[in-house]
Amino acid sequence: MGEIRVLIVDDSAFMRHALGRLLTEEPDIEVVGAASNGDEGLRMAAELRPDVITLDVEMPVLDGVGMLRRLMLETPTRVVMLSSRTTENARITLEALDCGAIDFVPKPSGSLSIDIGRVGDDLVARIRAAAAMSETAFVRHRQVAAMNLTLMSSQAHQNAAAVRAAEVAGRLTPEPTAVTPPAPHPGPRLAARKLVVIASSTGGPSALSAVIKCLPAQLGAAVAIVQHMPPAFTTSLAARLGSIGLLPCSEAANEDVLVENEILVAPGDFHLICSKSGHVQLVHLPPVNGVRPAADVTLQAMAPIWRERLLCVVLTGMGCDAREGARAVKQAGLTDQVLPLHQIASGIVSWCDLERWAGRATERPERSAIAK
């Protein structure tokens, strides 16, 4: 592969200069242009046809997500987002990943990071990884993003219709007597007998959305997600996954219990393991495979405890995290299968359903679904 042609889109003149200087120090990267807002970025992307775009989240005229939505329709390009570590920016960054961004890099100290060099190596690595993504993989990535956009658009229309209906009903009917209805009983929360561990990295948030929204409310297993993300971003990821699917989803905390039909997301900067009783433990051991949380840590800890009651699902990424964990799962007596993304949810459901009739000697469920 020749030089990677990069377009920088950031509303800060300082950031454009700092990023340009940082990237041009790399022998395999050429900065072909810099835009100050999303509208200008779209014009330059169409004119320059860069290999990768670094895209700021907050910009005037047209922000990062607005540009990204149009970019994927008009001039599909591999994008790495730059985001400050605020809760709101984490939410917007996850939306950008759903809309087609390949990856993101958190700015070290807010929207104007004069110390951007602290994440320089990470940014360069992610730009190289995005550029190295094959055209076939990029097409699949855009297809998932298109499905996510369709889902988000449908939900927005439904919400707007519900608001309009409520407004009309309020105008046409008398003010009702204030009565507080009884809260619906959620049913008992049962300690999980089976566990699904989902590991994902680059491209993972959009893939997770595609899987989680298709899982039933009565899955029959607990779900633990290990997604390579820093703090604040995993909090927003858990909230996002909980809003699009039927299973409650939250960020894991120490002494949480793995509960049937609920999802826990490993928090950024902590490895997630559990005791034999199913109590979650968050440990701040060194990074593994360069990441924390690492799926290998979770899977290698879970495999000898859960054995045949554990399903390992590896989604997408650029590195090797989860390889040794999957090996540990297989050594506990599990088999595997390779499935496309759109079949992962049904594969999980099939495994959970088969496990309910595990007493039948003729049935041997598949224990591990791996999507590549």
pLDDT tens column, 108-145: 766 566 678 788 888 999 999 999 998 998 998 888 88
β-bridge partners, 33:
7
Helix axis angle, 87-98 relative to 204-212, nearest 10°?
80
* Mean pLDDT score, 152-171: 57
Q: What is the CA angle 186-187-189, rounded to 5?
A: 100
Q: Whole-angstrom Cα distance, residue 350 to residue 286?
A: 36
Contact residues for 346 (Cβ-Cβ < 8 A; gap 6+):
214
Residue-wise pLDDT tens digits, 234-272: 999 999 999 999 999 999 999 999 999 999 999 999 999
**Alpha helices by DSSP H, the chain:** 13-24, 38-48, 64-74, 87-98, 120-132, 135-172, 204-212, 233-244, 295-306, 323-331, 341-356
**Cβ-based neighbour number of residue 101 at 10 Å:** 29
Residue-wise pLDDT tens digits, 44-64: 999 999 999 999 998 999 999
Res 370: pLDDT: 38
Token pair belonging to 152: 């988000």
Phi-psi region of 300 (alpha: psi -120 to 50; beta: other; left: phi over 0): alpha
**Cβ-based neighbour number of residue 342 at 10 Å:** 14
Ordered structural domains, the chain, with CATH: 4-140 (3.40.50.2300), 195-370 (3.40.50.180)
pLDDT band with cut points at 50, 70 and 90 for residue 190: confident
Give the count of alpha carbons within 13 A of 71, CB side only: 35
pTM of the model: 0.80
- Under 8 Å between Cβ of 287 and 294: yes
Token pair belonging to 199: 């590991």
**What is the largest distance, in Å, between two alpha-carbon atoms of the chain?**
72
Between strands 280-283 and 271-274, the pairing is: antiparallel
**112 — phi, psi (to 5°)?**
-110, 95
Contact residues for 81 (Cβ-Cβ < 8 A; gap 6+):
54, 55, 56, 57, 64, 93, 96, 97, 101, 103, 104, 105
Q: Which helix (H) or strand (E) holds 273?
A: strand 271-274
Q: Which of 77, 73, 102, 84 is nearest to 10 (CA)?
A: 84
For the annotated catalytic residues, the residue numbers are 201, 228, 321
Top pLDDT among 226 and 173 is at 226
